Amino acid sequence: MDRILIDGFPRSGNTFFYELLSTCFSNVDIPQFRHSVKTFSSNTYVMLRDPQYSISSFMSTFRHEDIESAESWWVRYYSTALENKVKFILFEDLIENPIAIVDKISKDLSLPYEIKDIKFLNKNESKNPYKITHSFNRASILYPSLLKCLW
C-alpha cells in the first residue's frame, strides 16, 4: 500500500491537512502525524505556518506559559526538517487552495485522488486571535530560509 507521511509543529494546520489527504487519498496509508522529528524523511510533507501564529496558538491552546521554550521547540523542529530535506507545505497555501496541494502531491507521488464531499473545506479556518507581542527572534531568522525551501 502506498504511504504519505505528514507532520508539522502543533497548531500549524496538521489536522486539516491530514483530514484532507485522508479523504482524497482513501486507498493510501497516511499515518497520524506525531509532531516529531524522528519521523522525517525526504518523503515527508511538513506543514509550515508563520511562527507568530503557530507558537501563539500552541501557547493559548495548551496553556503553555514559557514562550522561550516554545520558540526553541519550533526552531529545533524546523531546523531538523530543513536538514532532512522534507517537502514544506505553507499553511496559507493549504487554506487558500487545498485541492491544488492535493493535486501537487498526487503528481509528486503518481497517486490518483478523488474529490469527495469534503464538508470540512467550508470550515472557517481563522488565524489565532491571541497575537502575542513577542519578537520571536530565532524563529524569525529561520522562517525566511524555510520559505525559500517551499516545495
The CA-to-CA distance between both ends of the chain, in Å, stands at: 24
- List, in order of start, the domains of the chain with CATH numbers: 5-148 (3.40.50.300)
Tell me the pLDDT tens digit for each residue of 58-113.
777 767 678 888 888 889 889 988 888 889 999 889 888 888 999 999 999 999 99
Residue 150 vs residues 31, 60, 96, 100: alpha-carbon distances, Å: 22, 27, 16, 14
Q: What is the pLDDT of residue 95?
A: 84
